[in-house]
Every structure is written in C-alpha cells, then in structure tokens.
C-alpha cells in the first residue's frame, strides 16, 4: 500500500490520525490513545493550539518551570523557563540566588537595530545602478508608508536603506541592505512586508529581484549582562583558585572552537528556555547568537571573564531579536502568563532578562566543570528521570535518592541499585560455617537432580572441593589471566552480583568429572578437609591464581567461594 497521500491538509484531525496510524504504527489503538491523551479538554483552547501550525494532531508538552531570586538592575524577577533538560532550571535558580546577594546582574541594551535585505542581480554599469538607487531612495521609503505608519507611531520604522555591491563575491550580485527598529515587536512580518514593497518599487527590466527577506543575524541588536564581586566574596574553600580556574575555562572557550560550541550551548540552555516560555523564536535567536560568535572569523565564546585588582567580573554580549507583542506572545496563554510574570517587559527589558538567564546558566556550568565536574550536579537532577524510566515506587525513589546523596550518579549505578532493591534477598552461604554447609548438603545424594546444569549431587560437592584445592595451592590453575582482564573482572567479587547460570572457568571441562569418592558422605568429608586447609593455607600464602579472575588473595578467594557455594546450592534447591 502506498504511503503517499494527496490532500492530507484537508482531512479532519481524526482522519489524519487514522491515516497516520494505519500506515506507520503497528498498534493503532494504543497510538491513537497516546496522541489523544495530550489533547486539551477545553475545546476552544485546543482549537487555538491546532491553529498555530498546519496538520496538527496533538500537543507536545514541555516542562514549564520558574527560576526565582534573579536581581537584574536592582529589580527582582522570577524567570519562566521551558526546557526538557533536567538541570537547567535548578542551575539558574541557584546562580540567581548566589548573585542576588552580590549585587545581582547588571544589564544594558547596546542596540536594537534589525536587518532585512533585498537580494538582486544586475549586469549593467555599476555607476548607473548607484545613480538609480540614489535617485529613487526617497521613493523606496515612500513605498512602505502604509506599512510603517503604525510602527512609526511607536518610535520604530525603517532607519536606513543602503545599496551594497557584492559582485566581488558573486557575479552581478547586489543588495539593498535595510535597517529597522521594531520596538516591542520581533518584527519578522513587518520587516518582510517592507522589504517586498521596497523590492517591488525598485525592480525594473535590468534588475532581477532574487528574494526579499529579513536576516536573523543582528549584530547591532545586542545586549550585555554582567556580574562582579570581590574574589573573596565568591566563597568556597579557595575563592582565588576558583576565580583563576574559572577565568582559564572562559579563555579556553575564547580560543578553542570545539570547547566554545559546548560552552555557548550552555548559555543557550538558559536563553532558549526563556525564549520558548515567552513565545519567541528560539531558532532565530540560536542562529543569530552562533553567527555572532563567529564574527571574528573563528567561532568563539559569547561570554568573557576578567580578574583585575581583586575583582572577579563575568559578562556576556549576545544578539537577541525579541518581541513582547504580536505572534505567539499575544496568542499562547502560557506565553502571555510568562510575560505577565516578568512584569510585562518591553522587548529591551526582555533582552536583558534573557541575557541574565544565559549568563547564569554559563556561570553554573563553568562552576561545576571547574570544581566537582559537570556530571555530578547534572546526574543528580537526571536521577528522577532515570527512576521514572524504571517506574520506581515512591519508596524506591526515597531509598535511591538517599543512597546517592553524597555519591556520583551514573545511569548504570542507578539501574544496579534499583535491581538490587527489587531482587529477592540472597541467602549467601558462609562456606566456612561447616555446620551450615553440613545441614544443607546431607539433604542430597548422588542421584539428586539439579535445577540447572548437568552435575549430580555428589559431582557438585566434589566440584566445590576442586575449586577449594585450587585456592589452597593443591591444584595448579595454570590458565593465564592478563592483568588487564583481572582488573576488569575482580571488582565483580565486591558486588552483590551472583554467578550466572552457565558460568564456567576456562580450565573446567564441559562435562562433569567422574566421581572421585564412593559416597556423598566421603565427598562431604573431603570438602570439610579442603575448607580447613583454606583457613590455614593463607596463613603463609599471599595469593593463588584463579583461572578466570586471576591472582586472588585470601579475602578475594573467600568472596569467590561464598558466591560459588551459593550458586551450586541454588543449583540443587538448597537455598
């Protein structure tokens, strides 16, 4: 069946979902249920969301959080943040509070000019196109009068139009480079409408308009945010050392593009979260910021640091073309709520708030990197995601969270802890307790059938004796285990992990050995002799080779035998 379709946009939402699930999903009913469970019960609100884009089938939720305690230019803010990364809001909140007692964030808007361009081709004489442009420049402004009228009332509009010769880069290529002030509007539609009107007025037979479009590179729409304090006010065990390492980390990001990309990504964690929360265009902001980071010809850090006369200073300059009116900012209920939370800021104020959020995020990342390491705090926050992934109960969450309170969280360590909580308690066999061993073993005979494996009861007992003889130095385990393999395998003996069914040391045969003794009783007596020998052998011996784990001392051999006895006792249902 063909998966191509015509007229998809004309289908109802239910028809779109039916077509999608029939063609691309195995479990259609489950898929439909997942899609529909994210619909809003308020039909009018759902319709509003459906109308944002085309071919809507559901809503994709993102966490909406807040970072309190931001003091920006002596005014206190709660910053809304929409982001999926677990540590972002926590890091911003901590840093906001940290700097709130050290003067807060100082911010200023350097410029708000935005750019649009009419790209065209002209093969004639350069002086003629210059003459034509200069003669008609006033008419180009006039061509946009009906569009710019309302913007001009708010103090915005077209600032200038320039003719730019780019023929040295591309044959016959010119631009009309237009600068705009859009005040509290992001201004994309306004700018593009002006550019199209200008292009239509400018075009003639020998001028071929290629396209008219705004630029998301806005190097003159820039904001600066800064924090500073005396070095000793940074706190910690050694604030001078911290300041110096922090400074070095920023300098590395200034000169090393590989580091700068990740460094700036951390800044954008904070910026994008506020951009999304306020209904602005995070793709445009991202593109403009990274282009700005490359303006010198090499990609570099957006933030900078200095240590002068005992004062630590950290700042950022970043282009941010934003709006607080128009677009989603006026339609999306949560975007409107975010702007109200920010005390209904102008676009200039919003630029300053976002720059502070980006700088806070960068400070948090660099502080972690130069002290405990980035994973310590990040994985602490990620812990809850891992627990949810494994459907942990509230009791399990409480136990695991407490367990990792002062430990580094890793995915594998969390999984291991969850598995340990859910695994039935293991009744480890203390093989040195001969009364315990005896009480277990006299329940079987040589005809006892195993739950797994091929050995009968007596063969299992003699097998335990054989491994004890290896540890006692009576049988040479000549199988070589490299130091690298030994170092990788031995840590298992320190865990609560059990020997897996099918585990077999390399020198052991696939089939059970022939019986050595005439009865189970004789085999048990020999086992006890080997247990006694184990206790005395290591009074003089330092280590004996294990055919799988390598050289083991008394403590490691003891751990192995506990696991080995327990494994084979389980084989015959004795534990």
CATH architecture group of domain 66-105+231-371: Alpha-Beta Complex (3.90)
3-state secondary structure 300-355: CCCEEEEEECCEEEEEEEEECCCCCECHHHHCCHHHHHHHHHCCCCCHHHHHHHHH
Taking the C-alpha atoms of residue 314 and residue 229, their distance in angstroms, rounded to an integer, is 9
Q: What is the dihedral of CA 337, 338, 343, 344, to 10 degrees?
A: -80
- Given this model, what pLDDT does residue 377 score? 55
Cα separation values, 432 from 444, 468, 497, Å: 20, 11, 20
Q: Active-site residue among 265, 313, 440, 446?
A: 265
* Residues 269 and 85 sit within 8 Å (Cβ to Cβ): yes
- Given this model, what pLDDT does residue 378 score? 55
- The hierarchical CATH code for the domain 114-215 is 3.30.70.420
Q: Active-site residue among 378, 382, 559, 568?
A: 378
Q: How many CA atoms are closer than 13 Å to the CA of 261, on its beta-carbon side?
A: 3
Beta-carbon contacts of residue 294 (< 8 Å; ≥ 6 apart):
300
- Given this model, what pLDDT does residue 379 score? 60
- Given this model, what pLDDT does residue 196 score? 97
- Given this model, what pLDDT does residue 390 score? 84
Question: Is position 332 annotated as part of the catalytic site?
Answer: no
Taking the C-alpha atoms of residue 56 and residue 47, their distance in angstroms, rounded to an integer, is 10
Q: Active-site residue among 13, 32, 49, 85?
A: 85
Give the pairing type, strands 544-546 and 550-552.
antiparallel
Taking the C-alpha atoms of residue 270 and residue 67, their distance in angstroms, rounded to an integer, is 10
Q: Active-site residue among 272, 281, 526, 544?
A: 281
- Given this model, what pLDDT does residue 412 score? 83
Question: Is position 139 annotated as part of the catalytic site?
Answer: no
Question: Is position 41 annotated as part of the catalytic site?
Answer: no
Domain regions of the chain by residue span: 8-51, 66-105+231-371, 114-215, 380-422, 434-572
Question: Is position 378 annotated as part of the catalytic site?
Answer: yes
Beta-carbon contacts of residue 207 (< 8 Å; ≥ 6 apart):
120, 121, 122, 129
pLDDT lower than 50: segments of the chain: 1
- Given this model, what pLDDT does residue 213 score? 98
Long-range Cβ contact pairs of 39-46 (< 8 A, separation 24 or more): 45/333
């Amino acid at each position: 069946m063909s998966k191509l379709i015509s007229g998809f946009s004309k289908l109802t939402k239910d028809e779109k979902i039916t077509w999608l699930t029939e063609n691309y999903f195995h479990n259609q009913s489950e898929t439909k249920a997942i899609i529909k469970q994210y619909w809003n019960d308020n039909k009018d609100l759902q319709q509003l969301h459906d109308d944002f884009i085309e071919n809507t089938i559901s809503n994709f939720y993102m966490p909406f959080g807040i970072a309190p305690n931001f003091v920006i230019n002596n005014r206190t803010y709660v910053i809304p943040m929409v982001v999926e990364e677990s540590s972002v809001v926590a890091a911003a909140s901590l840093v906001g509070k940290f700097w709130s007692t050290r003067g807060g964030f100082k911010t200023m808007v350097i410029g708000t000019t935005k750019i649009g361009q009419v790209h065209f081709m002209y093969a004639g004489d350069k002086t003629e196109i210059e003459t034509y442009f200069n003669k008609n420049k006033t008419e180009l402004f006039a061509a946009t009068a009906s569009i710019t009228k309302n913007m001009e009332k708010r103090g915005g509009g077209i600032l200038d139009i320039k003719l730019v010769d780019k023929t040295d880069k591309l044959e016959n290529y010119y631009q009309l480079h237009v600068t705009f002030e859009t005040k509290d509007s992001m201004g994309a539609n306004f700018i593009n409408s002006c550019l199209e009107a200008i292009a239509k007025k400018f075009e003639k037979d020998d001028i071929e308009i290629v396209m008219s479009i705004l630029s998301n590179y806005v190097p003159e729409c820039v904001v600066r945010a800064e924090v500073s304090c005396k070095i000793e006010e940074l706190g910690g065990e050694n604030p001078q050392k911290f300041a110096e390492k922090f400074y070095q980390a920023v300098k590395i990001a200034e000169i090393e593009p590989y580091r700068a990309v990740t460094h700036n990504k951390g800044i954008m964690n904070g910026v994008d979260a506020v951009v999304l929360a306020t209904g602005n265009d995070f793709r445009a902001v991202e593109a403009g910021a990274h282009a700005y980071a490359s303006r010198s010809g090499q990609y570099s850090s957006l933030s900078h640091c200095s240590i002068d006369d005992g004062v630590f200073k950290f700042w950022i300059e970043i282009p941010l073309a934003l709006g607080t009116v128009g677009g989603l900012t006026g339609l999306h209920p949560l975007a409107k709520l975010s702007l109200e939370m920010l005390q209904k800021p102008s676009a200039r104020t919003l630029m300053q708030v976002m720059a502070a959020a980006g700088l806070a995020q960068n400070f948090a990342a660099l502080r972690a990197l130069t002290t405990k390491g980035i994973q310590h705090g990040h994985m602490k926050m990620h812990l809850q995601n891992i627990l949810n992934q494994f459907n942990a109960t509230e009791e399990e969450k409480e136990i695991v969270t407490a367990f990792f309170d002062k430990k580094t969280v890793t995915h594998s360590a969390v999984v291991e802890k969850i598995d340990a909580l859910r695994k039935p308690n293991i009744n480890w066999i203390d093989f040195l307790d001969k009364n315990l061993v005896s009480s277990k073993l006299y329940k079987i005979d040589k005809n006892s059938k195993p739950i797994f494996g091929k050995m009968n009861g007596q063969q299992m007992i003699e097998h335990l004796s054989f491994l004890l003889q290896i540890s006692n130095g009576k049988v040479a385990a000549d199988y070589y285990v490299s130091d690298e393999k030994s170092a990788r395998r031995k840590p298992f003996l320190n865990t609560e992990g059990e020997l897996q069914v099918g585990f077999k040391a390399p020198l052991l045969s696939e089939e059970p050995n022939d019986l050595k003794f005439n009865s189970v009783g004789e085999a048990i007596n020999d086992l006890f002799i080997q247990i006694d020998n184990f206790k005395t052998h290591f009074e003089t011996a330092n280590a004996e080779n294990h055919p799988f784990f390598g050289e083991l001392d008394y403590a490691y051999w003891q751990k192995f035998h506990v696991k080995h006895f327990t494994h084979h006792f389980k084989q015959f249902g004795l534990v």
